[in-house]
Amino acid sequence: MEIQANAPLQAYNTFGIAAKAKWLVRVTEEKDVADLLQMKDLQGLPKWVLGGGSNIVLTGDVDAVVLKVEIPGIRLVEETPDAWIVEAGAGVGWHELVHWTLDHDMGGLENLALIPGSVGAAPVQNIGAYGMELQNRFHSLDAVDLSDASHHELDASACQFGYRDSVFKRPRRQNEAGQSAGWRGQLLITRVRFALPKRWRAEVAYQDLQRMIQSSGIHTPSARQIFDWVVDIRTAKLPDPRDIGNAGSFFKNPVVTPEQCADIIGRDPHVVHYPLGDGRFKLAAGWLIDACGWKGKSVGAAAVYERQALVLVNRGTPDHPVTGGEVMTLAKAIQTSVYERFGIWLETEPEVI
């Protein structure tokens, strides 16, 4: 465990926003949390967990103990008749895990290739892309309580996954049954396990993947082929955070009723929409933003990416770095614009600090 006071965070958030942490603690194993709780200088101070920094917007310095999770390791922990159970440390890069599973001939995560961030942060957001969500492959996870260092193991039902949502994003309070309704700010995820199906089948219903099938003539793609397609699609649409600072998809795709969808189609028949299993429809937030004319527009050093309107990017320079305030001013202007035209208020994906 390494501890640093007044630590710069610009290198630890993919948007590249300059900010500092009152304290930065590198957590490399679960017992580091117990050791931390015994330190008198840090007792009583708020704690904030930082993973890969790919889904946050810093609007100022963080007056807290920032726990930078760097727990390593990937391994096969169990094999059942139906699945391989693979475990990864919370500090492992998500794309690194996807690579590892395919290198070991285990398909199932390929649709989630090239998503930035860490394994430990993935369940918090219930990451998803190209017709797949983390919850579809999730088995269980280990976590440690930041108040008393107690160990917790949570299965899928305990995580209460939803669309870009989980129990880890909800406030810590009691529900009607007297049980905890949220773990936000309370648990630090240490290890995550995934059930990768032995009876693998390609998940290619998503429109972009269907285009790849048609253009390539490969109608029965392997997991590796789907991985390559997803990487190509994401690379063509989305900026690499190493080159252009960003937090990935900045807004959630809104889910609407059939009546709402029909109303929007009536006003603009070209709106991109997808039917869901419960009768509702998911609208493409990027299309809505683009339709309002935001692609390429900016507020200060924050801008809408010219190739994908769903992504806000850092166009700052060393002399004029982007600020979290500029990012959020741009985001709110976009939300207002989309609401005025379509009657839909877009929800942001990143955590605003």
**pLDDT (tens digit per residue) in 79-111:** 999 999 999 999 999 999 999 999 999 999 999
Give pLDDT, residue 122.
97
- Burial class of 251 by CB neighbour count within 10 A (0 to 12, 13 to 18, 19+): buried
**Gap between the Cα atoms of 275 and 280, Å rounded:** 6
Please, where are the H alpha helices in the chain?
31-37, 94-103, 122-125, 156-159, 207-216, 223-237, 258-267, 285-291, 324-342
Residues annotated as part of the active site: 164, 249, 349
Q: What is the mean pLDDT of residues 205-222?
A: 95
Give pLDDT, residue 163.
87
Which of 104, 131, 125, 99 minimizes the C-alpha distance to 114?
99
Is the CATH number of domain 74-197 3.30.465.10? yes
Amino acid, res. 158: A
pLDDT for 153 beyond 70: yes
Taking only the tens place, the pLDDT of each residue in 227-246 is 999 999 999 989 999 899 99
Tell me the two tokens of residue 144. Answer: 């440690």
pLDDT for 320 beyond 90: no
Q: What is the mean pLDDT of residues 165-185?
A: 76
Taking only the tens place, the pLDDT of each residue in 5-52 is 999 999 999 999 999 999 999 999 999 999 999 998 898 899 999 999
Location of structure tokens 């094999």? 79
| Contact in structure between 16 and 245 (CB atoms under 8 Å) | yes
pLDDT confidence band for 277 (50 / 70 / 90)? confident
Instruction: Tell which CATH classification among 3.40.640.10, 2.60.40.10, 3.30.43.10, 1.10.260.40 matches the domain 2-69.
Output: 3.30.43.10
pLDDT confidence band for 175 (50 / 70 / 90)? low
Q: What is the mean pLDDT of residues 317-327?
A: 91
Give pLDDT, residue 172.
76
The set of long-range contacts for 77-82, using a CB threshold of 8 Å and a minimum separation of 24, is 77/193, 80/195, 81/198, 82/195, 82/197, 82/198, 82/199
Q: What is the mean pLDDT of residues 330-339?
A: 98
pLDDT confidence band for 174 (50 / 70 / 90)? low
Give pLDDT, residue 300.
95
Is the CATH number of domain 246-352 3.90.78.10? yes
Give pLDDT, residue 274.
87
| Domain residue limits, the chain | 2-69, 74-197, 246-352
- Burial class of 11 by CB neighbour count within 10 A (0 to 12, 13 to 18, 19+): exposed
